[in-house]
Amino acid sequence: MRRLMSGLRPRSLALAGDLIPLMPPSIVPPAEEEGDVLIGFDEYGREVYLDFSKLPNAHSVITGTTGSGKSTLARSLALSLVERGINVIFIDPHGEHAQFIEGLGGVTLSVEATPPDVLDPAGFSPEDWSELLSSILAEVTGVGGFLGSMLRPAIRRAVEEGDLKAALRALAPAPGLLEAVRPVLEPLAKPKLRLEALLEAGVPTCLVLRERGRLAIEQRAKFVACALLAQVQGLMSTKGVKHRPELIVVIDEAHKLLALSSNPILRAYQETRKFGFGFWSLTQLPALIPLEIYQLVGFSVFLGGTKEYVEELSALAFLTDTDREWLLYGVRGYAVLVRQGDPRPRRVKLAIRKEAIIEQ
């Protein structure tokens, strides 16, 4: 119901798509309009576009079981975005997108070799930033309760002094806690990357987390990824409301971050103002994302998968039997697209650019 209501807001009533449920089914759906980015073709062979001026925001969720083509689709769309002057940043757990980004004239940065400055409040107040950082840190290191609450003043000190070592010093009286967070924080104490400078440079970027390895590396990767995403939100929000996005952040394997209750992704999705950025979460596990999010993001793309996966999706979106069959038995490259303001899910054959295909 809420979804239907959101489709009927006066602002989007002009969209032809909103009138479709009011039409008798025998009337052929109106032709697709042109938009920013071609995503694929519908069953009639007509082009289906993403049009950011019509979408209420540029956020997205892209789901599909392993091998269904999420990463490939993200690269393909990214190529079209960059051609239209919209920058892209890939949060890339294993470096899978590095070559593609370099092919676009972009840069690859490994957060292990080029640690970002996580203390930069990026438009948040120092209190809010300390609060956010310490809750992410507590969650990724599994430090809860009273011990977790001890992190906040220590991180606050670090934010004020602009030095992560200050947090480690402040935690000296609590050696157990110090040992839990030291492997995450210490390698970040000499930052080599300021996100603000990276955003100003405006070049396509692949931020490689290299999360496979020791536990500390995985915890650090999650901490850094969450901090960076919160900074993107902070910095882009200070630039004010924008009609078109300037930046899309593709978060590959987002389920690992979405599982954290302190992740900044959902908060960005819940923001109703239209800032100049979009987070595109790629996930194998659609049910990890709360139901309301599917009604808030500008668009969702559901790629194919198993029976269990398609059933999971049916609980999240209003899919018809034909949509379900399309996803279950469809060949690779078939998807269902849900755009906010267009109450009809579209079955599409994705238009994947050849530059995006990486054979494994």
Contacting residues toward ligand ATP, per CB under 6 A: 64, 66-72, 284, 332-333, 350, 352, 357-360
Q: How far is the CB of 310 from ligand ATP (least distance, A)?
A: 15
Q: What residues make contact with Mg ion under the rule CB under 5 A?
A: 71
Q: How far is the CB of 164 from ligand ATP (least distance, A)?
A: 32
Neighbours of 13 (CB within 10 A): 11
Binder of residue 108, out of Mg ion, ligand ATP, none (CB less than 5 to 8 A by kind): none
Binder of residue 332, out of Mg ion, ligand ATP, none (CB less than 5 to 8 A by kind): ligand ATP
Nearer to Mg ion, 94 or 192 (CB): 94
> Cβ contacts of residue 224 below 8 Å, gap of 6+?
111, 115, 116, 118, 188, 209
Nearer to ligand ATP, 81 or 132 (CB): 81
Q: How far is the CB of 339 from ligand ATP (least distance, A)?
A: 20
Q: How far is the CB of 356 from ligand ATP (least distance, A)?
A: 8
Nearer to Mg ion, 17 or 204 (CB): 204
CA nearest to 266, candidates 225, 294, 244: 294
| Residue 85 exposed, middle or buried by CB count within 10 Å (0-12, 13-18, 19+) | exposed
The alpha carbon of residue 318 and the mean position of all alpha carbons in its chain are separated, in whole angstroms, by 22
Q: How far is the CB of 20 from ligand ATP (least distance, A)?
A: 27
| Residue 312 exposed, middle or buried by CB count within 10 Å (0-12, 13-18, 19+) | middle
CA nearest to 186, candidates 195, 194, 178, 197: 178
Question: Within a 13 Å sphere around the CA of 348, how many CA atoms are in the beta-carbon half?
Answer: 26
Residue nearest to ligand ATP (CB): 69
Binder of residue 69, out of ligand ATP, Mg ion, none (CB less than 5 to 8 A by kind): ligand ATP
